[in-house]
Structure 1
Amino acid sequence: MKLLLLHQNFPGQFRQLTPCLIERGHQLLAICSHQRPLPEIEGLRVLRYDQPPPMSGEWPYGTQLWHEALRRAESVGGFLQQLASEGWRPDRVLAHCGWGEALPVKEQWPEVPLLVWPELWLRPEHMGFGSDPLKGPVTSASLLANVGRNALAEASLAQATAWIVPTRHQANSFPAAYQNDRMHVVHEGIDTQLACPNPEVSYEVRGVRVNRSVPTITFVNRNLERLRGFDTFMRALPIIQRQHPTVRVVIVGDNEGGYGGADPSGLPLREVMLKELQGQLDLERIHFLGRIPHPYLISMLQASWVHIYLSYPFILGWSLLEAMGCGCCIVGSRGMPVEEVIHDGVQGVLVPMDDHERLAQRVLALIANPQLRDQLGRAARQASLAWDQSVTLPKLTALIEGLTG
């Protein structure tokens, strides 16, 4: 079959799916907007459009997102017309619908099945309203803030043949009208043959050789932000470092605003926290790595003694599942999305999202207890196998290939 993949950050959620579909003999054409290099893969053609220019001024309630989405839809629509004029017509269209790229599909090919990934129906609590003191309680303004993004998802769902969400928590965020037989809960999958325990792992950071003999705490997210508990994590470090003189802390993540938006100060949260904790941290034992290549990330997780993953009830990050696959001893936050994959005391240990003292004490107790770390890590590894691509990809390919208009 001819398959059209739409994702501004391609491959994005299609990272595991793309090579699988090619191996099954399908011809793939992808459209994206980023300009990063992509590997040349036989059976894959990639078209790129220009990123919409930034928009100035105040745009309340997600209206800026809609303007940008229509710009993206216009660019993608131009490609679709060009492809149609060349006689190229897809048998299926797979699209992440969060940026508007799916909007012109049915205008060009009304009969072609459209499968979309809407991810999450945003609610104020996903952004920390009602729990984050800097965000305050849920208000009419915080409810309206998500109207534009949810309306964009709704416009795509109205045209879609079916939609996929990766976790039950994310599926439950949608209104009842969309939780029907067109909704499918299937994760993209991780590679647990790559993300696996490795007792012989070794890597170097700032001239220091790190292996399984070095007590190491890891923290990984796309961006170092409050939505993912970076502030709570940082406030726990002075307690941990005072009581454990040799533990090293390895942190992965960019300094952008992230999913939850920038700090009220306008500064990167890393800078805010380092200023707040000035004089309380031994920075020689804390390593900020920024964004790193995936193989290096896996090595870092394989050597970790305790991995920390905190989150408001937002989407589940791949990094948590890969850390579980590597056999990490996990300390996570209570509630969703973490509790969908970890039960407290079974596959890891859970703490309140905003309790840095409890977090610190849990981490210290685990560092001091190798038997419990090993027990939790083995259980996490076993649980991760249910999210392996060998389980998820057959479900995804069967859905794609069996889809009808």
Structure 2
Amino acid sequence: MRILFVHTNFPGQFGAFGAWLARQGDDVCFATAAQATPPRGCRMMLFEAAEDGAPETHRHARGLDRALRNAESFAATAVKAKAAGIDPQVVVAHSGWGAGTYAKAVWPGAAFVPYLEWWYRHPRPDIHPDDPPPGDETALRARAAARNAPMLVDLAQADMAFCPAEFQAAQFPDWIRARLTVAPDGVDAAGLKPDPAARAQLAEHGVPDDAEVVSYATRGMEPYRGFPEFMRALALAQKARPKLHAVIAGRDRVAYGAALPAGESWKARMLAELDLDESRLHFTGLLAPAPYAALLQGTDAHVYLTVPFVLSWSFLEAMSAGAPLIANDAAPIREALGASDGALLVDHYDPQALAAAIVATLEDRAGARARGLRARQRILAAYDRAWIWPARAAALRRLAERA
């Protein structure tokens, strides 16, 4: 199979899967706007990402304007790549940013597979109480409808369309949902598995040997992923458990949701608001894969919170590692857990309930570990890339044979 993956950011959802395809003997190329090195056995073509939509463009069309500028930039690079001999049978493109939208204009015979993550609508399911007031309802409905335009352009050309979760697919209108193939990205369950010896590595973050470790891992410290609620619960749990140490991985920034005024952060706000023993707080920044895995494997209680939105890979990775999990009772989390009782579920906005769940987990470590192992069994059954990737590859090869 000759296959091209398109994403403004590399590796995104495609890097590891594409590298695996190359190891199976497929001809794999990546197109990206990120400065990156291709995996062994793969090729890469670079295009320039577009800036925000032009200010003279209608405010609701600026997203589409930027997407089409990305499409144009990608196409200019793709035409040169085609002249150099790159001729994919299948193009898989992350949809919404426009980068792969003109793939069929360059390679009309190729099968086109957009990867769709989120359908915007109003009212939004991913509301948080700390969000700014919503504003004019009519304008919000209009803006939500317009934000979906880049995906609609991709869907009009699609031979197949992937969506990574049932909850995300359910956000789309029924007529689009019927065209979506729900296919999880896949977790490296063989590489990320329980390892009690990893506990020793937590000393690198300043964690004492006799500590009760509570972990939290996120791209950004923000309300979307429950950072304020976690910190409020942590302040309560610290008072109940004098040996409790929290290891918090991630950047002090907002990745999803409304940005704060310049110079402010949710980390700074929480440290100012709460009576915390900061000597028992360990902020690590973003972690490389090995220490990140050790955190999930060595923790005594891992907390994950989210508004109803795209589920973080970190939750599935914590399940794979067998971490004792505490999470909020939200649809994407319930989907990931399935029928298993692999996590204690609490109300996202009840710090006292979350603190009580943390304390209960620390008091019954054997029961918590058993719960974590049940979560891992769910990963093996529903999210293990050892069988998900071959199934996805087979579907793409069927498209390639028809191209």
Q: When the two structures are superposed, what TM-score results if normalisation uses the length of structure 2?
A: 0.92
Match of 2:219 in 1: 222
How far off is 1:243 after superposition? 0.8
- The residue identity in structure 2 corresponding to 1:401 is R
1:2 and 2:2 are equivalent in the alignment: yes
User: Within 5 Å, which residues of 2 pair with 1:123-142?
Assistant: 123-124=121-122, 126=124, 128-129=126-127, 131-136=128-133, 139-142=137-140
Displacement of 1:128: 3.4
Q: Secondary structure at the match of 1:164?
A: strand
Is the contact between residue 61 and residue 147 of structure 1 (CA under 8 Å) also seen in structure 2?
no
SS at match of 2:216: strand
User: Corresponding residue for 2:88?
Assistant: 90
Which residue of 359, 367, 375 maps to 1:364?
359
CA distance in 2, matches of 1:23, 1:239: 50
Report the alpha carbon displacement of residue 400 of structure 1 after superposing the two structures with TM: 0.6
1:38 equivalent in alignment to 2:37? yes
**Contact 1:221–1:319 (CA under 8 A) maintained in structure 2:** yes
Deviation at 1:127, TM superposition (A): 6.3
Contact 1:168 1:185 in 2 (8 A): yes
Identify which range, 159-168 or 57-66, moves more after superposition. 57-66
Helix, strand or coil at the partner of 1:281: coil
Q: Deviations over 1:182-227 (max 9, x none)?
A: 421111101111111001112145663566x531111111111111
Determine the structure 2 residue equivalent to 1:48. Answer: 46
Tell me how far apart the structure 2 counterparts of residues 240 and 23 of structure 1 sit (CA, whole Å).
48
Q: Distance in 1 between matches of 2:123 and 2:277?
A: 34
Contact 1:228–1:311 (Cα < 8 Å) also in 2: yes
In structure 1, what is the Cα distance between the partners aligned to 2:47 and 2:25? 27
CA distance in 1, matches of 2:239, 2:292: 27
Secondary structure, in 3 states, of the residue corresponding to 2:34? Answer: coil
The answer for the alignment partner of 2:17 in structure 1 is 17
Match for 1:295: what amino acid?
A
Distance 1:266 1:150 in 2: 32
Q: Give the counterpart of 2:250 among 239, 250, 253.
A: 253
Contact 2:5–2:30 (Cα < 8 Å) also in 1: yes
Task: Report the CA distance between 1:228 and its aligned residue.
Answer: 0.9
Aligned to 2:303: 308
Aligned-pair CA distance for 1:122 = 2.2
The alignment partner of 1:145 has SS state of helix
Cα distance in structure 2, aligned partners of 1:269 and 1:56 = 31
Deviates more, 1:320-329 or 1:8-17: 8-17
Query: Which blocks of at least 5 consecutive residues in structure 1 are unaligned?
Result: none
Q: Measure how far apart 1:58 and its partner are.
A: 9.7
**Following TM superposition, by how much is the alpha carbon of 1:167 offset from its aligned partner in structure 2, in angstroms?**
1.0
Letter in 2 for 1:270: K
**Per the alignment, do residues 167 and 345 of structure 1 end up closer, same or farther by CA in structure 2, a change over 3 Å counting?**
closer
1:195 is aligned to 2:192:
yes
**Hey, what does 1:69 align to over in structure 2?**
67
Shift of residue 11, structure 1, vs aligned partner: 1.8
Distance 1:282 1:63, change over 3 A: farther
Distance in 1 of aligned mates of 2:377 and 2:60? 41
1:47 partner amino acid = M
Preserved contact between residue 16 and residue 389 of structure 1 (Cα < 8 Å)? no
Shift of 1:266: 6.7
Query: 1:1-400 alignment to 2 at 5 Å?
Result: 1-35=1-35, 37-38=36-37, 40-42=39-41, 44-53=42-51, 62-124=60-122, 126=124, 128-129=126-127, 131-136=128-133, 139-180=137-178, 182-201=179-198, 202-204=200-202, 208=206, 214-263=211-260, 267-277=264-274, 280-342=275-337, 346-386=341-381, 387-400=383-396
Judge which range, 248-257 or 340-349, deviates more. 340-349
Shift of 1:52: 2.7
- Structure 2: how far apart are the matches of 1:224 and 1:110? 43
- What displacement does 1:115 show? 0.9
Q: Secondary structure at the match of 1:250?
A: strand
Asked if 1 retains the 8 angstrom alpha-carbon contact of 2:130 and 2:223, the reply is no
Change (3 A) 1:117 1:71: same
SS of the equivalent of 1:184 reads strand
Aligned equivalents of 1:382 and 1:214: distance in 2?
28
Deviation of 1:396 after TM superposition, in Å, equals 0.7
Query: Does the 8 Å CA contact 1:306/1:328 hold for their aligned counterparts?
Result: yes
Shift of 1:102: 1.6
CA distance in structure 2 between the aligned counterparts of 1:110 and 1:311, rounded to whole angstroms: 40
Runs of 5+ consecutive residues of structure 2 not aligned to the other structure: none
